[in-house]
Amino acid sequence: MAEYQTNRGAAYSLGYHVVWCPKYRRPVLVGPVAERLRDLIGQKCDEHGWSIVALEVMPDHVHLFVRADPNASPSYIANQFKGFTSRVLRDEFSHLRSRLPTLWSRSYFVSSVGNVSAVTIQKYIETQWERPWRKGGAS
């Protein structure tokens, strides 16, 4: 069963799989850096009211499954995590400043995650003219 959230104007269930990597895919996300990164991602989620479904910090990339409200675009979500964590981690771990010109590469991967398939939505839309309240054509 889908878990839906609501705000003043919408009911929604939006999830995103976001993946991003350190510059040059360097394996710097280990030990205390990885632990602090997990904490910072949780802090940013709390700040925005987003929820973490799954999080894996690998030495050379991050996988995050996050649920967010419709006011936050996927690019906004990715950039919030990347910008905030880069600034804090580079301040706290000097070896990240000396080893990399920036912590994160400019790119990222994002995919929407949902409970309803694209085929189901397409069929629903295509059958709208067959609904009983639509007798007599368009209104």
Q: What pLDDT is attached to residue 136?
A: 57
| pLDDT tens, N- to C-terminus, the chain (139 residues) | 457 888 888 888 899 999 999 999 999 999 999 999 999 999 999 999 999 999 999 999 999 999 999 999 999 999 999 999 999 999 999 999 998 999 999 999 999 988 777 788 788 778 877 666 555 555 4
Residue 139 resides in a domain: no
- The boundaries of the domain holding residue 45 are 10-134
Q: What is the full DSSP assignment across 17-55? A: EEEE-BGGG-----HHHHHHHHHHHHHHHHHHT-EEEEE
Would 41 be classed as within a structural domain?
yes
Please identify every residue annotated as catalytic. Answer: 124
Quick check: is 3 in a domain?
Answer: no
Domain assignment of residue 43, yes or no: yes
pLDDT of residue 128: 78
| DSSP state at residue 62 | E
121 lies in some domain? yes
Q: Does residue 29 belong to any structural domain of this protein? A: yes
SS3 70: coil
137 φ, ψ to 5°? Answer: 95, -170
DSSP state letter for 65: E
Domain-located, residue 128? yes
pLDDT at 138: 53
**Minimal CA–CA distance to 77: which of 90, 86, 66?**
66
* CATH value at residue 74: 3.30.70.1290
Q: How many domains does the chain have?
A: 1
The pLDDT score that the predictor gives to residue 45 is 98
Does residue 1 belong to any structural domain of this protein? no
pLDDT value for 1: 40
